Amino acid sequence: MKSIQARLSLGLVAVLVVVGLALAQLTLWLFEAGLQRYLEAGLRKESENLLVALVRGPSGLQLDERRLSAAYQRPFSGYYFRIDFDQGTWRSRSLWDMDMPKPAKPGLDDGHELGPGGQQLLAYRGDYRRLGQDISISVAQDYSPVREGFRRMQQIGLGLGLVALMLVLVLQRLTVTRSLRPLERARQQIAQLQQGQRSQLDAEVPSELQPLVDQINHLLTHTEDSLRRSRNALGNLGHALKTPLAVLVSLAASERLQALPEVRAQMREQLEQIQQRLARELNRARLAGDALPGAQFDCDAELPGLLATLGMIHGEGLLLERDVPPGLLLPWDREDLLELLGNLLDNACKWADSEVRLGIAPTTEGYQLWVDDDGPGIPEAQRLQVLERGSRLDEQVDGHGLGLGIVRDIVEAWGGRIALLESPLGGLRVSIELPRKGR
């Protein structure tokens, strides 16, 4: 889709060209019409001078050449006349042996008849009565220089018009660029929102952008409030369920169920699963923290706090290391990546003996993430079972399963791939390949 500036420029060019051509044509037409009226007055005066030059001679009507302009005597001078009366026709010597057609009707003839030497003529015919005779006097002058002048004016006008058009386009571009600066600032602020550097857009914008900015800020506030309420509700629910679960666990271990060993075993198993899932959800809420909606993941800013939180949860004897290039930004939401890495690292910490290592590296196609631990790992025959949709290996073995299921769902939503491999540390390596473009 074309930019707003390109559309405005094209629209302005179209309007200026159409209006400019119309005005130029109208101006030239009015100028030529005015010039023809002026030339008509001069030709009328010339015909009247010729009429005065007609005198009565010994043999009848004759022309007093002393009263004629010298231009009528010079061949092809560009000034010609023709006098028609009862006894015949007189023509100016400037016509030489050429003939000048008589205009069909009195007045100015703008047909631009061709005269001697291919000249375009502007002719005027006047009908008079003098010395008892009907006389028709036609005078003409070469109109070619005027037409050439018009062509030069058109060329000069076209050149000036193009220069003016370029100047207008430059000024229009500067004006539009200046007018669109608030949009560019809004775009930069939205990018800062995505990177987690701000939580709201600036409200001081032009009135045209005010409704959009207000709506975006309202949506951001609503989203942030919804996330906070959901996280608080999850934490409150988890804490509220801890006491009833403790009572149920105590009840399952009481002597009242000694006569029902199968029921006791099933209750313990189900209650342990509930406690495990509840603990995981509470850990997710605690690891996410107060994330800004849409914030990107800054590894330098986020990983130290995440690893420190996991260290406090799983004890100081566990070594947590990271192998991440400095200044690396991942193009996914901060909260989603905290959830993904939190589940991976939390799962590895539960199984590790003494060391967990996180690695992130950019690749030609996207990003590679991996988490190693030095725990017992997972047998190769059971790795696919852990990652299968609907699999609940965590019901048989406490630890692996639920967290990896959450990670699998996130990775699949981003179009990535996850694999369980043998770690160089001796335990399990969870390897994830993510495409360069996020969701």
Output the CA–CA distances (angstroms, integers) from residue 370 to 12, 178, 352, 363, 373, in the order listed.
Answer: 56, 47, 15, 13, 10
**Owner of token pair 């299968």:** 388
Integer Cα distance of 81 and 46 in angstroms? 9
**Owner of token pair 């003839």:** 109
Rounded to the nearest 10 degrees, what angle do helices 261-288 and 210-252 cross at? 150
What pTM was estimated for this model as a whole?
0.44
Output the CA–CA distances (angstroms, integers) from residue 334 to 4, 131, 407, in the order listed.
Answer: 33, 111, 15
Rounded to the nearest 10 degrees, what angle do helices 334-351 and 261-288 cross at? 130
Q: What residue spans of 315-353 are helical by DSSP H? A: 334-351
Integer Cα distance of 130 and 113 in angstroms? 28
Q: And the tokens for 151?
A: 């062509």
Decide: 85 and 135 in contact? Cβ < 8 Å: yes
Amino acid at site 294: G
Residue among 133, 47, 52 nearest 86 (CA):
133
Helix H or strand E encompassing 430: strand 428-435
Output the CA–CA distances (angstroms, integers) from residue 331 to 290, 297, 326, 328, in the order listed.
Answer: 19, 7, 15, 10
Q: pLDDT 10s per residue in the chain (439 long)?
A: 566 767 777 777 788 788 877 887 788 788 778 888 888 888 889 888 888 888 887 777 778 777 788 888 888 888 888 888 877 888 888 888 787 888 888 888 766 566 676 778 888 889 988 887 888 988 888 888 877 887 888 788 788 888 888 888 888 888 878 877 887 888 888 777 766 667 788 877 788 778 888 888 888 888 777 777 776 777 677 767 777 777 777 777 777 667 777 777 777 777 777 776 776 666 555 545 554 555 568 888 889 988 888 888 887 788 999 999 998 888 887 777 888 898 889 888 888 888 999 999 999 888 999 999 998 888 887 877 776 644 544 444 444 445 677 788 788 878 889 989 999 998 999 999 998 754 4
